[in-house]
Amino acid sequence: MGNLLAAVVSAEAADSGESKSYIQQMFSSDGFHAPSIAEFFPPAIFGDGTIYEFNRIMLIRVIAAVALITIFWIVAARAKVVPGRFQGAIEFMLDFVKDQIVEPVMGHEGKRFLPFLTTLFLAIVFFNITGVIPFLNIASTSLIGLPLFMAFWVYLLYLGQGVKKHGLGGYLKNSLFPPGVPKPIYILLTPIEFLQVFILRPATLALRLAANMIAGHLLLVLCFAATQYFFFAAAGAMKAMSAVTFAAGFGFVLFEIFVALLQAYVFTMLSAVYLNMALEEEH
């Protein structure tokens, strides 16, 4: 039990790329060391201080992307008419995006956006789930750059599609001057609509995703760091608290898996909604 506990806790504490020093701190006699925001800024593997800087979180993103591409390449290469369990699980994910997100929100218009939204959903799932994989231990989306990039991708797409369908003037009219509103109200309503369409939509997409992944990571590190402290450094009956914090950490692992999937669903659902609103005649 002791060896298993030490292995699990050490793997979780290693998420910052400085596992050796972190574990040494935890074993030291000067008390418990809580995780900090420094967890999300690991030292560079190479290119420190340059535009080519590459750190541990970037490496995890590469691993997640390679894993996603490899899995789907294998499934596509070995696809059968009667799918096995593995192919069936992948097809379930594809059908989930189509049946639960794209078609209910966008109807017939959604067919041409299905590849984009499916790719978006699966990418977020894989980038999120690295937060609970041993020896990776941090979500690739817990640093704001990647969520911002994906939100900006959605932002450009819905603006571009709206302008393409309605023209620049027509899109601005539909977005900033909702029909059926008394004209004097536009003095208040139009600035709010401008903020919502051009600033708040992409900002909230990125911030919601990053904030959930940051919070989940900090909770996991806190629970397992406390487990290590109680088990190895606490005295007497306080060692029993390690069982409590370990159970809490395991519970948060399951919850973090749920949050990783939920955030992928929310991000993709809102992206489909924004695309649909850009294409509607009036909304």
**CA 270 – CA 154 distance, rounded (Å):** 10
Query: Which residue, among 165, 93, 92, 95, has the nearest Cα to 122 in the 3D structure?
Result: 93
**CA 266 – CA 283 distance, rounded (Å):** 21
DSSP state of 29: T
**CA 147 – CA 224 distance, rounded (Å):** 27
Better pLDDT: 269 or 38: 269
Tell me: pLDDT of 272 over 90: yes
Q: Residue 282: what pLDDT?
A: 62
Work out the average pLDDT over 45-52.
88
Helices in 50-144 by DSSP H: which ranges? Answer: 56-77, 85-97, 103-106, 114-129
Tell me: pLDDT of 11 over 50: no
Work out the average pLDDT over 135-164.
94
pLDDT one-digit tens code per residue, 84-108: 888 999 999 999 999 999 999 998 8
Tell me: pLDDT of 69 over 60: yes
pLDDT one-digit tens code per residue, 22-47: 444 444 444 566 777 888 888 889 98
Tell me: pLDDT of 21 over 80: no
**CA 233 – CA 249 distance, rounded (Å):** 18
Residues in the chain: 283
**CA 30 – CA 20 distance, rounded (Å):** 17
Q: What percent of the chain has pLDDT over 90?
A: 57
DSSP state of 32: -
The number of beta carbons lying within 10 Å of the beta carbon of residue 187 is 8
Based on its alpha-carbon atoms, the radius of gyration of the chain, rounded to whole angstroms, reads 23
**CA 251 – CA 256 distance, rounded (Å):** 9
| pLDDT confidence bin for 147, thresholds 50/70/90 | very high
Query: Which H helix or E strand runs over 191?
Result: helix 186-195
Query: Which residue, among 145, 83, 143, 95, has the nearest Cα to 121 in the 3D structure?
Result: 95
The number of beta carbons lying within 10 Å of the beta carbon of residue 248 is 17
Q: Residue 14: what pLDDT?
A: 47
pLDDT one-digit tens code per residue, 201-236: 999 999 999 999 999 999 998 888 888 888 877 777
Task: Say if CB 4 and CB 241 are below 8 A apart.
Answer: no
